[in-house]
């Protein structure tokens, strides 16, 4: 039996084969994110405007002062505040208020309010109202009803004058009590010129005979003067001349043969 012939395929028999063709891609176009670029540019522009724009800095004319009419005082307050020329975000109104309050005690209240844009600030002040003049040695002060002492700002002959050492912060008598005492004694024909102040005894009157009479403070002076007259009458009846009489508390009045205050 004849053998079956086997044929083997070769490349030659199969004919030419297709070769793969390599295609080279061209350069891709660069896509620029214009929206993001525009946002960044806008942010940078706004930042430069905020940092460098003149409207963000406080000019001299943009700091207004109310409550004062004197141009000289207004000029001094603007300089002392150290606000002019600063950028809005560098302004510190609270620090400026503290500086002014310390430098200008004659003003009872100082408030500074600043707007955001354009940068403007208002400095509102309330001046203290003096109720008396205080003389200690060669120095003279005005005193308001809050017991604040500050330099005399002018001539006020209508104010009572009190002589004595400067009272301590925790004085036994408030300014209003001293002022009320002066007013009450004035109604009883005792002039403020005959009064002075002792830290622990309040108002002290030097009577026509030279006695020192401690009266304290407040409006209730009539019963104290009545007690003073009783003490003096009793002492005269006994041939005694006290140098000091303390009637701050009429029910417990005392006197001394020596002048210790």
Percent of the chain with pLDDT over 70: 87
Last residue of a domain, one of 127, 162, 190: 127
Same domain, 249 and 185: yes
The β-bridge partners of 203 are: 197, 216
Confidence check: pLDDT of 47 > 80:
no
d(CA 134, CA 147): 11
| Residue 1 pLDDT | 45
| Residue 106 pLDDT | 85
Same domain, 199 and 247: yes
Average pLDDT over residues 57-61: 90
Confidence check: pLDDT of 17 > 60:
no
d(CA 152, CA 144): 11
pTM for the model stands at 0.64
d(CA 190, CA 212): 14
Residue spans of alpha helices (H) in 128-221:
175-187
Structural domain count of the chain: 2
First CA to last CA across the chain, in angstroms?
161
Last residue of a domain, one of 77, 94, 127: 127
Same domain, 149 and 223: yes
| Residue 172 pLDDT | 80
Confidence check: pLDDT of 157 > 70:
yes
d(CA 20, CA 30): 30
Residue 28: inside a domain, yes or no? Answer: no
For the beta carbon of residue 226, count every other beta carbon within 10 angstroms: 12
Q: What is the distance, to the nearest Å, from the Cα of residue 1 to the centroid of all Cα atoms in its chain?
A: 129
For residue 177, the enclosing domain spans 130-256
Residue 245: inside a domain, yes or no? Answer: yes
Confidence check: pLDDT of 6 > 60:
no
Residue 31: inside a domain, yes or no? Answer: no
Average pLDDT over residues 192-199: 91
Peptide bond before 167: cis, by omega within 30 degrees of 0?
no
- Residue 118, domain CATH: 3.10.20.310
Same domain, 150 and 244: yes
- Residue 140, domain CATH: 3.40.50
Closest CA to 207 of 219, 195, 198: 195
Same domain, 154 and 194: yes
| Residue 83 pLDDT | 92
The β-bridge partners of 87 are: 57
> pLDDT tens, 104-154?
888 889 999 998 888 999 999 998 999 999 999 889 999 988 888 898 988
Regarding beta strands 212-216 and 244-246, do their DSSP bridges make them parallel or antiparallel, or are they unpaired? parallel
Confidence check: pLDDT of 158 > 60:
yes
Q: What does the angle CA 122 – CA 142 – CA 195 come to, to the nearest 5 degrees?
A: 160
Residue 105: inside a domain, yes or no? Answer: yes
Regarding beta strands 161-163 and 149-151, do their DSSP bridges make them parallel or antiparallel, or are they unpaired? unpaired
Assess contact for 193 and 256: CB atoms under 8 A.
no
Residue 105 has which token pair? 């005690």
């Amino acid at each position: 039996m004849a053998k079956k012939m086997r044929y083997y395929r070769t490349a030659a028999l199969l004919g030419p084969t297709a070769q793969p063709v390599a295609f080279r891609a061209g350069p891709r176009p660069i896509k620029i994110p214009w929206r993001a670029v525009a946002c960044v540019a806008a942010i940078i522009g706004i930042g430069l405007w905020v940092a460098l724009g003149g409207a963000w800095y406080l000019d001299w004319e943009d700091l207004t002062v109310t409550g004062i009419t004197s141009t000289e005082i207004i000029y001094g307050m603007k300089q002392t505040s150290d606000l002019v020329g600063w950028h809005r975000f560098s302004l510190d109104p609270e620090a400026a208020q503290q500086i002014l309050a310390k430098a200008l005690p004659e003003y009872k209240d100082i408030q500074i309010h600043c707007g955001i844009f354009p940068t403007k600030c208002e400095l509102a002040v309330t001046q203290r109202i003096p109720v008396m003049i205080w003389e200690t040695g060669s120095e003279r002060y005005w005193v308001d009803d809050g017991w604040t002492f500050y330099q005399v700002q002018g001539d006020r002959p209508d104010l009572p004058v009190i002589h004595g050492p400067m009272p301590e912060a925790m004085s036994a008598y408030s300014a209003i009590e001293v002022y009320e005492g002066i007013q009450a004694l004035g109604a009883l024909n005792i002039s403020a010129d005959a009064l002075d102040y002792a830290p622990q005894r309040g108002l002290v009157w030097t009577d026509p005979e030279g006695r020192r009479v401690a009266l304290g403070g407040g409006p209730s002076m009539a019963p104290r003067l009545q007690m003073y007259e009783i003490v003096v009458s009793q002492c005269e009846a006994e041939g005694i001349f006290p140098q000091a009489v303390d009637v701050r508390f009429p029910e417990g009045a005392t006197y001394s043969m020596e002048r210790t205050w």
